[in-house]
């Protein structure tokens, strides 16, 4: 009996220290760093309208849980920007579902009808985000990071003339 009490005390002490070490505000624990880039060019895989000639760049920085995305368009786009997303997993020309939707944080660029310049400059705390179908983060944060590290994610920029995508670029780790 005394042995069972000692075992129960050890288990409770271990659980107590484990629970105390948890950060209740975090949904997931991210301990990864990296810089990723994508060169954006006309997305010929979706047969864009008009003759898109814009190019651009995307920079994604991951510093543990801080996830920062900057997308710059060297314009002009064929029409005003309507969104930007990270898709995956995909090859250079393959289609893929949206895994991170940047559009909800682009209201300034969208409302201004931006066709050039910095259209996205946002930062997220991935540890505070849970994947939600139709939300900003649509896959587990670790799955997103794996796609970035493996080169199977791409960035797309859509416009009112080309809602399926006008620019696209595969993400590579620097």
User: What is the C-alpha separation between 103 and 109, in angstroms, rounded?
Assistant: 10
70 belongs to a structural domain = yes
32 belongs to a structural domain = yes
User: What is the C-alpha separation between 134 and 79, in angstroms, rounded?
Assistant: 25
User: Residue 65 is part of a domain; what is its CATH number?
Assistant: 2.60.40
Full-model pTM: 0.82
User: What is the C-alpha separation between 73 and 31, in angstroms, rounded?
Assistant: 31
Q: How many domains does the chain have?
A: 1
What is the average per-residue pLDDT within 40-63? 91
3 belongs to a structural domain = no
Q: What is the pLDDT of residues 124-160, one digit of tens each?
A: 999 999 999 999 999 999 999 999 999 999 999 999 9
The boundaries of the domain holding residue 80 are 28-173
Work out whether the CA dihedral 96, 98, 100, 102 comes out positive or negative.
positive
For residue 50, the model assigns a pLDDT of 86
Q: What is the pLDDT of residues 29-47, one digit of tens each?
A: 666 889 999 999 998 888 8
113 belongs to a structural domain = yes
What is the average per-residue pLDDT within 75-86? 95
């Amino acid at each position: 009996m005394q042995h069972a009490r000692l075992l129960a005390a050890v288990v409770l002490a271990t659980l107590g220290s484990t629970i105390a070490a948890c950060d209740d505000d975090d949904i997931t624990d991210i301990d990864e760093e990296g810089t990723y880039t994508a060169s954006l060019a006309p997305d010929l895989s979706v047969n864009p309208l008009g003759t898109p000639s814009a190019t651009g760049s995307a920079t994604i920085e991951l510093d543990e849980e801080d996830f920062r995305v900057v997308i710059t368009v060297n314009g002009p786009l064929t029409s005003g920007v309507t969104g930007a997303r990270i898709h995956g997993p995909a090859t250079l020309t393959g289609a893929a579902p949206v895994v991170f939707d940047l559009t909800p944080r682009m209201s300034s660029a969208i409302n201004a009808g931006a066709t050039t310049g910095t259209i996205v400059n946002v930062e997220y705390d991935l540890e505070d985000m849970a994947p939600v179908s139709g939300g900003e983060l649509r896959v587990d944060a670790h799955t997103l990071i794996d796609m970035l590290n493996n080169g199977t994610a791409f960035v797309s920029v859509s416009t009112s003339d080309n809602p399926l995508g006008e620019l696209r670029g595969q993400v590579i780790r620097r």
